[in-house]
Amino acid sequence: MKQKLALSLAAMLLSLSAAAANEPRPPSLGVEASISFPNDTTIKTWQADGEDGIWIQSRQGGWYYGKFATICRDLNFAQGIGIDNRGSSQLDRFSTILVRRQRCPLTSFVTSLPPPTKAELKAAREAEKAAKSN
């Protein structure tokens, strides 16, 4: 009886370790990436990073950060964006984000964490103020 229990436990542990080995690993952060066939079915949401960049979330849940070559003035107030990928079938560092007739070329498009929440931004601003006053 004990032998059967030990064998079944060993088999269960072996199957769990094999399942863990087959799970896809999350991508490393800060690695150049792309989103294939960027459109309303592959891009879930986006958020401006002021005038400097943009966070984009794919339908699979991955977050990406695109850094602009120049400032993109109207992005904070835009309700929608366009993507000019010049005939390519992917959104990557060679693409341009279109915002209210303004072209905002990307210099990089990397894997990222989600954008900071309002509470995290507020805490960062307060910490920055405290550091300046000291």
More confident call, 25 vs 119: 119
Candidates 27, 101, 90, 91; CA nearest to 54 is 91
- The rounded mean pLDDT for the chain is 84
- The span from the CA of 62 to the CA of 56, in Å, is 8
pLDDT at residue 117 tops 60: yes
Task: Dihedral sign for Cα 27, 30, 31, 34, please.
Answer: positive
Q: Bridge-partner residues for 54, per DSSP?
A: 48, 66
pLDDT at residue 13 tops 60: no
pLDDT at residue 17 tops 60: no
User: Cα-Cα-Cα-Cα dihedral of 112, 118, 124, 127, to 10°?
Assistant: -160
| Structure confidence by residue, pLDDT tens digits, 40-49 | 788 999 999 9
Concatenated DSSP letters of 18-78: HHHHHSPPPPPTT-B--EES-STTTEEEEEEETTTEEEEEETTS-EEEEEESS--TTGGG-
pLDDT for res 4 = 54
| pLDDT band at residue 12 using 50, 70 and 90 as cut-offs | low
* Residue 90, amino acid: Q
- The span from the CA of 105 to the CA of 61, in Å, is 24
pLDDT for res 25 = 57
More confident call, 4 vs 32: 32
Single pTM value for the model: 0.73
